[in-house]
Amino acid sequence: MKINVFGDSISALVCAGCLAETGNQVTLVGHRDNERSEPGLAKLLDTQIDAGRLHVSNAFDIEAEYQIIALNPDQCLEGKQIALALAEGNHPERCIIIRANFTMGTSQRIAELAKIPCIVNPDFASEGRAIQDFKRPDRIIIGCRNPLAQQQFKRLFAPFNRNRNVMIDMSPESAELTKYATNAMLATRISLMNELALASESLGADIEEVRQGIGLDKRIGPSYLYAGIGFGGTHFAKDLCRIHKIINPSDSKEGLLEAVIRINEQQKEALFRKFWQHFNCHIENKVVTLWGISYKPNSTSIEGAPSLELIKAFLNQGVTLQIFDPMLEVNFMIWLRENLSLEQQKRVEIISDMYEATENSDALCVVTEWQAFLSLDLEQLKANMNTPIILDGRNLYDKAWLTDNQFIYYGIGR
């Protein structure tokens, strides 16, 4: 089947690659700029291009049977322009699949402009495991009112629905809201856990034990119950703001999501606060090590990352920073240049070895849960560090083990 995939996002690239892999002729109408940060993506695209099933182009085939719009959320206007161009083809039997996370109502507008049936099929994949999530999705949502288009869609996505049927039909409006609601629900769970983490600290409880205790409850389930230093990422925060704007004019004025966002913002500085309190507000000229900059492991994405708030907080109090991250990219260097004064930039050292980054350090902040951070060489840390303080932003370590080894340990909610 002939398919156009519009967009440069990871979502677009993954979709184009995976559909080519299942034997379709795919044109990616966009660029391959973002692929490096997603594991396995470059290889997938190269293989499909070599096999002749995937083409990258600025032009598109108006005759293609499927037009998939996977633009960035802020490209609603471009989406409508594509719809206008497709209207000229006059092929009402074809269909448009919208995987982009546009503002509510955009999909209906696109359908009207293109005069072609439209399906809202939100992309729920997480960055860092996007290919896996595309191929083995938890659910495939088909937001559509046209039975013919529904059938066409089901044919295209059948290869990803073999193990068990995870396809759900619903209205386009419900499909759009489901995407937002998913992120709102996940964010709310995390912020609630972070509130409970504060309570744990004042009660002498351990949020990790509490997490396991409630996670076994089938009504709750174990995922997204991790207290930590807050979530980041472009889409999450953007979706929250959007759904907040949708909820606000409706009848609820209670501001639950506002609180969710506020708690998350405060949480990003949690490790800074623990360090500040440990030294009774006197932290000028201290040296702090940060492990992990990206907002999640296996990613170079730093948008909304807690590390950035920590960097600003520490530098503003006269601290020197030694930074290690396994996958730092130029986007971080640009951020440093744009957000810090020259004097502050001089107090940031990026070090390519994780243990070298702890030399003479007054505290090690573990910010992102990269696998390489899971097992610590305590002897080396103790030899390197000026004061053996571990600030564990992801509750990765066994508190007792560290304190038995004469480390001062601060986790989140324990």
Partner 1 sequence: MIETQAYSNLQRLSETMQTQHLKELFAQDPNRFDAFHLRMDGMLFDFSKQKVSTEVVDELLNLADEQQLESWIKRLFDGDRINHTESRAAWHTALRDVSEPRPEVAQQWRKLESLVNQIHQKQFRGYSGKPITDIINIGVGGSDLGPLMVTHALEQDRLACAPEVHFVSTLDARQLHTLLRHLDPATTLFVIASKSFTTIDTLSLAETAKEWLLQHAPNPQVVVNHFVGISTNPTKMTEWGIIPSQQLLFWDWVGGRFSLWSTIGFSIAVRLGMTGYNEMLAGAHAMDQHFKNTPFKQNIPVLLGLIGVWNTNFLNLSAQAILPYDSRLKYFASYLEQLEMESNGKSTRRDGSPVEYRTCPILWGEVGPNAQHAFYQLLHQGTERVMSDFILFSQWNSPSKRGSFHQNLNIANCLAQSRAMMIGESSEDRHKHYPGDQVSNTLLLKQLDAHHLGMLIALYEHKVFVQSVIWDINAFDQWGVELGKKLALNILGHIEEKSVEGLDSSTANLLKTIWKQHHEN
- Between helix 207-215 and helix 172-203 the angle, nearest 10°, is 140
Mapped onto helix, strand or coil, the DSSP state of residue 155 is helix
Q: Which amino acid is at 239?
A: D
Q: Which backbone phi and psi does 214 adopt, to 5 degrees?
A: -85, -25
* Binder of partner 1 out of 57, 90, 285, 316 (CB under 8 A): 316
Q: Is 313 in the site for partner 1 (CB under 8 A)?
A: yes
Return the residues of window 239-278 that contact partner 1 according to CB under 8 A. Answer: 266, 269, 272-277
386 touching partner 1, by CB under 8 A: no
Closest listed residue to residue 393, CA positions, set 284, 277, 300, 310: 310
Give me the least distance between CB of 316 and partner 1, in Å please.
4
Please state the closest distance from residue 308 (CB atom) to partner 1, in A.
Answer: 13
For partner 1, the closer of residues 155 and 245 by Cβ is: 245
Residue positions counted in the chain: 414
Query: Which of 141, 271 has the CB closer to partner 1?
Result: 271
DSSP 359-410: TT-SEEEE-S--GGGSS--HHHHHHH-SS-EEEETT--S-HHHHHHTT-EEE
* Tokens standing for residue 226: 């991790």
Using CB under 8 A as the binding rule, whether residue 188 contacts partner 1 is answered as no
The least CB distance from residue 276 to partner 1, in Å, is 4
Stretch in the footprint of partner 1 (CB under 8 A) among 96-104, 199-207, 310-318, 356-364: 310-318
Distance, in Å, from the CA atom of 159 to the CA atom of 140, rounded to the nearest integer, reads 12
- Of 266 and 298, CB closest to partner 1: 266
Strand 118-120 and strand 287-291: pairing? unpaired
Report, in Å, the least distance between residue 278 CB and partner 1: 10
d(CA 103, CA 183): 14
Tokens 């997480």 — which residue?
126
The SS3 call for residue 86 is: helix
What are the φ/ψ torsions at residue 280 (nearest 5 degrees)?
50, 45
**What is the closest distance, in whole angstroms, from the C-beta atom of residue 340 to partner 1 in the complex?**
11
Tell me whether residue 127 or residue 269 sits nearer to partner 1 (CB atom): 269
Q: Which is nearer to partner 1, 60 or 275 (CB)?
A: 275
User: Would you say 127 or 309 has its CB closer to partner 1?
Assistant: 309
Count of residues engaged in binding partner 1, rule: CB under 8 A: 14
Question: Can residue 223 be called a binding residue for partner 1 (CB under 8 A)?
Answer: no
* Residue 146 Cβ vs partner 1, minimum distance, rounded to whole Å: 45
Per CB under 8 A, 280 contacts partner 1: yes
> 57 vs 277, which CB is nearer to partner 1?
277
* Minimum distance of partner 1 from residue 336's CB (angstroms): 16
Per-position b or e across 272-294, b if 16+ CB within 10 A of its CB: bebbbebeeeebeebbbbbbbbb
Name the minimum Å distance from CB 281 to partner 1.
Answer: 5
Nearer to partner 1, 22 or 344 (CB): 344
- Which residues in this chain contact partner 1 in the complex, by CB under 8 A? 266, 269, 272-277, 280-281, 312-313, 316-317
